[in-house]
Amino acid sequence: MGDTHYREVRENGFVRLPGLVAGEALARLRSAVAGLHKLARDRTVSSGDFILEAPGIGGWAAWQQGAQALTGVLRSADRIHEHVPEFDAVQRSLDLAGGPVAGAAGSPGTLVNAFLWAKPPVVGSAKPWHQDIAFAPPSFGPEEHGIVTIWVALEPATERNGCLEFIPGSHLLGLFPHTGDRERLPGEPPRAGAAVEPHVADEHLPRTADPVAVPLGPGSAVMFDGMVLHRSAPNTTAAEPRTAVSFVYRVPRPSWTRMEPAAVVRG
């Protein structure tokens, strides 16, 4: 990885990192994911940090509504480095914070969260357009800090099974309005009626560049700024799971981004 990669994340908001994780490190991440699935195997309703997939309405909506989900079928998991410490050990051994993240942000990052992103065949639900920084809690200090995420594919991520898509340059335009329901807090009752996952509506998306899909092979990654617009389509394949983990790092607020509300730009 050289200056070209880091220039890409500054200019486009994201950059591919082919073959970032290989050999023993890749095997360790896959084993750690198996540990997460073991923790979730008897769950029938999403709760805490474990979100189960639900046909028809999707895992996020089922979680908000307290609806029945597919037993043990994970859509995502939060704070995975706390549930299975091996995730933290692997990212430390790879020096992601002091290597790729530091190269992109100008200084080493601090790990603030890690996620499992499972998208099972047939029922794997979509993730709508959003900016990660929009979901940072006030205590994060978004005016002073930014986010750099490294998203690692553990199985092939393709356009068929829901790889990530980005709008190049959207991280330079400011914070876009996100519509939908906020996530219910721990202890809050399920929502009555349908829940709408927070997203940037189509009429607010910039038309300055076409979306770019980023397919990845196992062990390859994409690194992206917390302000860049991204999404993933549903997994409609019959037998092609898409499993990934992401490591989220707090960095000093990048000079190229701004937190002001974005103007709707039509190209």
Give pLDDT tens digits for 150-163: 999 999 999 999 99
| Model confidence, pTM | 0.94
Tokens matching residue 217? 């092979």
Gap between the Cα atoms of 199 and 13, Å rounded: 18
Give 85 or 6, the one with higher predicted confidence: 85
As a residue count, the chain comes to 267
Give 170 or 194, the one with higher predicted confidence: 170
Gap between the Cα atoms of 130 and 48, Å rounded: 22
Q: How many Cβ atoms sit within 10 Å of the Cβ of residue 171?
A: 28
pLDDT digits (tens, 9 = 90+) for 179-215: 999 888 778 888 888 899 999 999 999 999 999 999 9
Interval 169-174 mean pLDDT: 94
DSSP at 189: P
Closest CA to 140 of 57, 199, 25, 226: 226
Predicted local distance difference test score (pLDDT) of residue 262: 79
Whether pLDDT at 141 is above 60:
yes
Predicted local distance difference test score (pLDDT) of residue 106: 87
pLDDT digits (tens, 9 = 90+) for 13-58: 999 999 999 999 999 999 999 999 999 999 999 988 999 999 889 9
User: Residue 137: which pLDDT band, with cuts at 50, 70 and 90?
Assistant: confident
pLDDT digits (tens, 9 = 90+) for 211-245: 999 999 999 999 999 999 999 999 999 999 999 99
User: Residue 2: which pLDDT band, with cuts at 50, 70 and 90?
Assistant: low
Predicted local distance difference test score (pLDDT) of residue 260: 77
Tokens matching residue 84? 């299975």
Report percent pLDDT > 90 for the chain: 78
Predicted local distance difference test score (pLDDT) of residue 265: 52
Predicted local distance difference test score (pLDDT) of residue 204: 95
Whether pLDDT at 264 is above 70:
no
Q: Cβ neighbours of residue 240 under 8 Å, at least 6 residues apart?
A: 121, 155, 156, 158, 160, 161
Looking up tokens 């923790």 gives 39
DSSP at 208: S
* Residue pair 80/54 in contact by the 8 Å Cβ criterion: no
Report percent pLDDT > 70 for the chain: 96
Gap between the Cα atoms of 246 and 237, Å rounded: 23
Question: Which amino acid would we find at residue 204?
Answer: H
Interval 2-10 mean pLDDT: 78
Q: Cβ neighbours of residue 195 under 8 Å, at least 6 residues apart?
A: 60, 61, 64, 65, 181
